[in-house]
Copies of this chain bind each other. A is one copy, B any other.
Amino acid sequence: MWTVKVVGLGVVALSLSLELFGRLLRRLRPAGRILNEVLFFPTEMACVEHIFTPSSPHSCFCSLPHGKETSLSRLLQRILSASFSLDLCVFAFSNINLRRAVLALHSRGVAIRVLTDKDYAAITGSQIGVLRKAGICVRCDVGSVYMHHKFAVVDGRLLITGSLNWTLTAVQGNMENILITEEPRLVQPFIKEFHRLWMRNDPARYQHSNDQKPAHVTTRTQCPVNHDKY
């Protein structure tokens, strides 16, 4: 009789141990699944048409290699993974493929905010004007020598940052890096910094004060009101 009880107790102890192990693993496992990825540039030249038209991946007949995964294609995929928001803080933005990705998100209804450098927003080849014309809310930093960041936050959870400006030379010619992470201790400070810079460069600050608004600051009417919520 006591043997049965002992075995029963053993089974209960084992079950409890397994249950506790399971709970512990479930609590600790998410850290291991956090996305951490590094891309290096210059990227190989390859067609990226299939990333923009995944429903018809063989629709492009350009002379570039097709179906090849490159650092640029990975970067585009990460940007296009946005479901509801993209906060972009970039010094120079002249790359056509990256512009196309941002416009594709905008046409899907993703809320986009772009913060850029006041001088580089107006250089030849800059795509900042195209974004503004499309109705995307753009602000230029007025408080520093250069607004030299090159980061983006996708859906408030994925950080894309590194040395890479969003230009053709950076993507195809330079030695560059992009670090992509979901690690909250890295993502959260960038979200906070974006918010701080966004608020600091709010054109309303100039409209509501006696300060003269610099010519390169986007007027508030160019920004949809709901963009200011993020």
Q: Does A5 contact B (CB under 8 A)?
A: yes
Chain B residues contacting A31 (CB-CB under 8 Å) are 28, 31-32
Chain B residues contacting A144 (CB-CB under 8 Å) are 42, 173-175
A36 to B188, alpha carbons, bound, how many Å? 11
Segment of A52-60, A61-69, A125-133, A161-169 in the binding face: A161-169
**Interface pair B161/A179, CB less than 8 Å apart:** yes
**Interface pair B186/A173, CB less than 8 Å apart:** no
Chain B residues contacting A176 (CB-CB under 8 Å) are 148-149
B-contacting residues, A1-42, CB 8 Å:
2, 5-6, 9-10, 13-14, 16-17, 20-21, 24-25, 28, 31-32, 36-38, 40, 42
- Number of A residues, CB within 8 Å of B: 52
A124 to B32, alpha carbons, bound, how many Å? 46
Chain B residues contacting A169 (CB-CB under 8 Å) are 145-146
B-contacting residues, A141-173, CB 8 Å:
141, 143-151, 161-164, 169-170, 173
A13's nearest neighbour on chain B, judged by CB, is: B13
Chain B residues contacting A9 (CB-CB under 8 Å) are 6, 9-10, 13
Q: Does A218 contact B (CB under 8 A)?
A: no
Segment of A95-103, A104-112, A189-197, A205-213 in the binding face: A189-197
**Interface pair A149/B163, CB less than 8 Å apart:** yes
Q: Does A229 contact B (CB under 8 A)?
A: no
**Interface pair B175/A146, CB less than 8 Å apart:** yes
A94 to B147, alpha carbons, bound, how many Å? 19
A162 to B91, alpha carbons, bound, how many Å? 13
**Interface pair A181/B189, CB less than 8 Å apart:** no
A-B pairs, top 4 by smallest CB distance, nearest first, are A145-B173, A2-B2, A13-B13, A38-B189
